[in-house]
Structure 1
Amino acid sequence: MWEHFDLISPNKVRCLLCSKELGYNNNTSSMLRHYRALHENREETGASPSQATRKQELDEALVSMIVKDTQPFTIVDDVGFRTFVSKLDPNYVLPTRQALKAMVEAKYESAKEHAKAKVEKVAAVSLTSDMWTSINMDAYLAVTCHFVEENKKLSSVLLGVQAFPQSHTAENIACVKASLMEEWGISGKVTCMVTDGAPNMVACMRELKLRHHICVAHTLNLAVKRALDQHPVLSGLRAKARKLVGCFRSSTTAKEKLTQVQLQLGMQATKLMQEVETRWNSTYLMLQRLVELREPVGAALAGLHTGIPFFTASEFDIVVACLSLLSPFYDATTELSAEEHVSASKVIPLLKMIEKALQEEDTKSAPAVAVEIGEQLIRQLREKLHMLPC
C-alpha cells in the first residue's frame, strides 16, 4: 500500500492516485479498502479499450513534459499538480514516481535506438566535442555527431554527456571518446573532430589518429579576449562598467530607480547586463546595453547618490568606438554558432569580412585607444588563425 500512499502526519495518509486523505492508525486497513474500492478494479479490469488508449496518451504526454521541461519525478506527488490534472481529467490516474521514472528511462532508450538507426545509415560523420566544469565544480565531457541524411538534411545527435572525474589527460579523454564512437558504431566513419585548442584536446586527437580542426568561434573568442585584456584603458573601463552594473543588479533600490526613470522617459524597462569573465561577447553586450541606457542610468545614479562614477563623455566615445570594432566579431560568432546549417564554408568569407571591417574602421577618426585595440585585434586574428587565408 505504501506504493500508493504517503504518510503526511502521524495519523493521516494521502492517496497518491486521487489525493484523498485518510486516517492512519498504525495499520493499512483503511488504505487497502480505499485502494480496492476506487483504484484496483479500474487499473486491472475495469478500463475499456478507449480508456486504456486515453491513459497511454496522457502517460506519454506526461513523460514528454518531464523530458522537455526538465521536471522532477516528484511532480506527480505535488498536491497542486494532482488537483490540476484531476480537474482536466478526473478519470486519469497519475503514475507513481517509480512508474514515471521507468517510463522516462524507456523513452530515453527508445530515442537512443532511433538515433543509432539514423547514424547507422550514413557513410560519414563529423564530431564536435567540449569539456567544461559545472557551478558545483564537476567536470563533464560532451560529444556531438553531425551528418547528412538521405534527404540531404543536416542532422546532429548528442552521443553523450559524461561526468569526467578522472584527470584531464589526453589519454583519458581519448579513451572516453573512443568508447563513445565504438558504442555508436562510428569508429570508421569519423572524417573530422572539432574541439577547442587546449593542448590536451590536440594531443587527444593525435592519440585517436583523427583529422582535427580547432573551433574557429572558440579561437575568435580567445583572440578578442586577449586583445581586450591587454589594453589597460579598456580594462579600466570594463572594471568601472562591472561595478556599475553590479550596483544595479544587487540593489533593489537602484534597480527600481532605473526602472522608474526608464518609464518616465517613455522607454521599455530593460535590465543592465553583467560581463562573464570567459566570454568576450558578454563584454560587448554589457557595454552595448550601457550605451543604450546612457541617459536613464545617468539620471538614476544622480538620484541614488551612490558615489559610483559613470563614464565621462570621452570614455563613452572610446566605448562606442570599441563596440564598432567588436560588432563584426559578434556577428561572426553568432553565425558560426548556428545549429541549422553547415558553417565551415562560411569561415574564410567571415574572416575576410572581419579584417575588411577593421581596416575600414582604421580609416575613421577614432580615439587613440580604439585605434590601438583595432590594431591588436588584427594581430591576434592573424596570429591565432594563421593557418587560414584570412
Structure 2
Amino acid sequence: MNREQKRTGGDRTMEKGIELLHGHFHYKPLPYGGVDGTKVVCIHCKGVFSYHRSTSSLKYHLNAIHSVDYSKSPTITNSGESLRQTACGRSITLDKQKQDELTNAIAKWIATNCRPVSIVEDVGLRNMLRIATSDDTYKPPSRRTVTRRIHELYEVERTTKAMALQRAPAVALTGDYWTSLGNHNHLGVTVHYIDEQWELRSHALTVMKTEDGHFAETCAEHFIHVAQQWNVSDKVSTLSTDSARNMIAGATHLPFEHVPCVAHSLQRSVTVSLLNSAFEDVLAKCREVVGHFKHSPASAAELAHQQIEHGQKESPLVQDIPTRWNSTLDMIKSVRRNEQPLRDVLTTQDTEIAMPTTAEMDNLQRLETLLEHCRDVTELLGGEKYVSCSVVLPAFCHLSRVMESSDDDPAYVVKFKSTFRTDLKTREENANIAYLKIATALDPRFKDLKCVPRAERAEVWATVTNLVKEQRVVAEQPVEATTSEPPKKKIALLAASSESDSEQEEDSLENGVRRYRAEPTISTEACPLQWWSKHAGSHSRLASIAQKYLATPATSVPCERLFSLAGHIVQKKRVSLSSENVNDLVCLSNWLGAEE
C-alpha cells in the first residue's frame, strides 16, 4: 500500500469508524471524506497522536494520563465510576447515576414546560447537553424512556396529592368540559381545600377523555367518578361550574352543593346591558377600526410609526371577542389610548373606515369607567390562591352601589346601569345564596353581614348555629398560615359596600357563635385564614366549618386556566396524544409548575 492509500483510507482497515484499543482511539476523519490512517484521536481527551502500526505509545497515554484499562471498552471501564474529569481537562464521562438524574430532569422539564417528548431527538438539545456535561459521548434518553419516566413521575406526584387530600377535612371542586384540536371531549376538574396549616391549596385532579354526550345525568356521573377515583366522595362540599343548562341540571343529581360561576354571570350581565344600548354603534365602529389594522400589515406598520411619533409605546390594538371576559373593555382602552395615531393613519389612507366622533369617544370613556368596576370584581373573584367565595355577596353589593344612577348621568348611561342591576339581581337570585351567606359570615372581614339585608342576618346566624351543633370534630390548634392574599386595591373597594351598620341584637345563638360574633372584624385587606390560624383554638367547632366554606372558589376560572394549559400541550403537532398522556402531562404541568 502506498502513502496516498494510507492517508485516504484506501485500505479497508482504514475506513472511517474503525477503532483501536477497544474503542479508546479512532482514526482522524478527513474534511473531504475518509480517514487519515496516520493519525488517531483519543476519545477521552480528544488528543491527536501519530500512528505507525504500533500501539505502545497509545497504551502508555491511557495508563499514564487517563488511568483506564485499554483491554476493556470505555463503557466497561467507566461503569460504576463517579463523574470524573480527565487529567487532560477536556472531557468527562457521566456515570449511570448522573445519567438517571439528567433523564429525570429532562422528563420533569418536558412535563412542566409543556414541551413535546420528541424534543429529546433534537440534535441541538443533544449538543447543548454534551457541552453542559462536558461528555462528548452523552446521548439523551429515548422518547420511550422519557415517556416512562413521566408516567412514573405522575404516579409519585399523584400519591403525594392523594395523601394530602385524605388529611383535608373538606374539599371543593370546579369542573368544565373542553374540546381538543383533535375534536376529543375532555373533562377538567380541579380541587380546592384548606389544609391543617390553614393554607389554601388547589391543583388539578384530572383532564379525562369523555365519550358520552354531555347530558345532565352523564355529567353528574363524570364528577362522581372523579371523586371516587381520588377517594374524596365523602369530603366534597361544593362543585363550581359555569351556568350551562346541562351543568345546572346535572348538579341536581349530585350529593353535594352547586355554586354557579360568578364570573360567567357577571359577563352575561355585561353582554345583556350592552345589547340594544346606545353604546352599540360606537362599539361597532371600534370593531371595524381594529379589524382594519388587524388585517392590514401595512396599516399596522404605519400605526406603530405614528405611536412612536406621538411619544407612545408601540402596542397592537385589541379586538373584543364575545367569549373572552373583559375583551370589550380592552378594545375600548386600546382605541382611546391610540385615538390620535389612529386618526392620523386613517386620514392618509384611501379607506371608508371612520373613527368614532368626539362625542362618541366621550361615550366610550363613560363605558370604560363602568366596565372597569366589572373587571375589578371579575379578577378579584377569579383567584384561586386566596379566599373568594365569601367575597361574592360583598362584591355584588359593591357593583349594585356603583351602578346606581345619579343626576349627572345621561339617559343612555342610566339605561345601561338600570339594565345591569336588574339582570345581575336575577342572576344573584339563581346563585347558591344560602351557601354564600354562610361563607360570608365565617369570613372575619365580612362577618358583620353588612352586604346582607338586615332582616335576613338573624336567619344566617341561626343556620351557622345549627351547623355548629352538628359539628363533632374539634379542630386542633394549627400553626400560622402563609396563604396568599387577594389584590389589596380591589378588595379594598368592598369596604364601603354596606347598606348599614350591623346590629348587636341579643338572640339565642350557640355560645361559640356568640363569642365569634363578638370578635372585632378585620380589615378587608387582611387574610381571613391567618386570622383563623390564630383563633381556631378558641373557636374550634366554627373553625372546622370555616375550613369547608372558605375553601370553595367563587368561579370556575381554575378550570379555564387548566384548559389554557392543555392548549399548550395538545398542539396541532400533538393532536394524536393518547388520553392518558394528555391527563398526565396537564396534571404534572399544573402540579410541578405550582411548586416552582
Structures share fold, TM-score greater than 0.5: yes
User: Aligned residue for 1:3?
Assistant: none
Distance in 1 between residues matched to 2:413 and 2:183, nearest whole Å: 37
CA 1:103–1:180 in structure 2 vs 1: closer, same or farther (change >3 Å)?
same
User: Aligned residue for 2:103?
Assistant: 59
User: Aligned residue for 1:88?
Assistant: 132
User: Aligned residue for 2:262?
Assistant: 216
Match of 2:190 among 130, 144, 166: 144
Match of 2:421 among 365, 378, 381: 378
Question: 2:374 is aligned with what amino acid?
Answer: F
Distance in 2 between residues matched to 1:66 and 1:169, nearest whole Å: 36
Is 1:184 aligned to residue 230 of structure 2? yes
Shift of 1:239: 2.4
CA 1:139–1:277 in structure 2 vs 1: closer, same or farther (change >3 Å)?
farther
Shift of 1:207: 1.2
CA 1:367–1:292 in structure 2 vs 1: closer, same or farther (change >3 Å)?
farther
Question: 2:199 is aligned with what amino acid?
Answer: K
User: Aligned residue for 1:79?
Assistant: 123
Is 1:223–1:380's contact at 8 Å kept on the other side of the alignment? yes
Residue by residue over 1:10-52, the C-alpha shift from the partner in whole angstroms, topping out at 9 and shown as x without a partner, is: xxxxxxxxxxx9xxxxxxxxxxxx9xx9xx8538962524433
Distance in 2 between residues matched to 1:335 and 1:381, nearest whole Å: 17
CA 1:286–1:230 in structure 2 vs 1: closer, same or farther (change >3 Å)?
same
What secondary structure is seen at the aligned counterpart in 2 of 1:191?
strand
Q: TM-score normalized by structure 1?
A: 0.84
Is 2:206–2:226's contact at 8 Å kept on the other side of the alignment? yes
Shift of 1:221: 1.3
Question: 1:56 is aligned with what amino acid?
Answer: D
Match of 2:81 among 48, 51, 59: 48
Shift of 1:65: 1.6
What secondary structure is seen at the aligned counterpart in 2 of 1:200?
helix
Is 2:202–2:385's contact at 8 Å kept on the other side of the alignment? no
CA 1:294–1:175 in structure 2 vs 1: closer, same or farther (change >3 Å)?
same
Match of 1:337 among 382, 403, 408: 382
Distance in 2 between residues matched to 1:75 and 1:342, nearest whole Å: 40
CA 1:225–1:41 in structure 2 vs 1: closer, same or farther (change >3 Å)?
farther
User: Aligned residue for 1:273?
Assistant: 318
Is 2:79–2:96's contact at 8 Å kept on the other side of the alignment? no
Question: 2:423 is aligned with what amino acid?
Answer: Q
Distance in 1 between residues matched to 2:307 and 2:131, nearest whole Å: 43
Question: 1:272 is aligned with what amino acid?
Answer: L
What secondary structure is seen at the aligned counterpart in 2 of 1:162?
strand
Distance in 2 between residues matched to 1:380 and 1:43, nearest whole Å: 76
Shift of 1:84: 1.9
Is 1:153 aligned to residue 199 of structure 2? yes
CA 1:364–1:138 in structure 2 vs 1: closer, same or farther (change >3 Å)?
farther
Shift of 1:367: 4.0
CA 1:280–1:376 in structure 2 vs 1: closer, same or farther (change >3 Å)?
farther
Is 2:174–2:189's contact at 8 Å kept on the other side of the alignment? yes
CA 1:43–1:167 in structure 2 vs 1: closer, same or farther (change >3 Å)?
farther
In the TM superposition, what are the counterparts of 1:257-296 in structure 2 within 5 Å? 257-296=302-341
In the TM superposition, what are the counterparts of 1:290-305 in structure 2 within 5 Å? 290-305=335-350
Shift of 1:73: 1.2
Tell me whether 315-324 or 203-212 shows the greater mean CA deviation: 203-212
Is 2:317–2:335's contact at 8 Å kept on the other side of the alignment? yes
Is 1:235 aligned to residue 268 of structure 2? no
User: Aligned residue for 1:324?
Assistant: 369
User: Aligned residue for 1:173?
Assistant: 219
Distance in 2 between residues matched to 1:186 and 1:366, nearest whole Å: 52
What secondary structure is seen at the aligned counterpart in 1 of 2:176?
strand
Question: 1:373 is aligned with what amino acid?
Answer: F
User: Aligned residue for 1:6?
Assistant: none
Shift of 1:58: 2.0
CA 1:42–1:266 in structure 2 vs 1: closer, same or farther (change >3 Å)?
farther
Shift of 1:280: 4.3
User: Aligned residue for 1:8?
Assistant: none
Distance in 2 between residues matched to 1:325 and 1:272, nearest whole Å: 21
In the TM superposition, what are the counterparts of 1:248-263 in structure 2 within 5 Å? 248-263=293-308
CA 1:258–1:195 in structure 2 vs 1: closer, same or farther (change >3 Å)?
same
Distance in 1 between residues matched to 2:410 and 2:128, nearest whole Å: 61
CA 1:62–1:366 in structure 2 vs 1: closer, same or farther (change >3 Å)?
same
Shift of 1:328: 0.8
Distance in 2 between residues matched to 1:164 and 1:244, nearest whole Å: 41
Question: 1:215 is aligned with what amino acid?
Answer: C
How many positions carry a matched residue from both structures? 353
In the TM superposition, what are the counterparts of 1:348-359 in structure 2 within 5 Å? 348-359=393-404
User: Aligned residue for 1:107?
Assistant: 153
Structure of higher CA gyration radius: 2
Match of 2:241 among 174, 190, 195: 195
Match of 1:124 among 155, 170, 176: 170
Is 2:173–2:236's contact at 8 Å kept on the other side of the alignment? yes
CA 1:47–1:305 in structure 2 vs 1: closer, same or farther (change >3 Å)?
farther
Q: TM-score normalized by structure 2?
A: 0.56
CA 1:371–1:73 in structure 2 vs 1: closer, same or farther (change >3 Å)?
same
Shift of 1:184: 0.2
- Larger helix share, 1 or 2: 1
Is 2:236–2:256's contact at 8 Å kept on the other side of the alignment? yes
CA 1:280–1:46 in structure 2 vs 1: closer, same or farther (change >3 Å)?
closer
Q: Identity percentage over the alignment?
A: 28
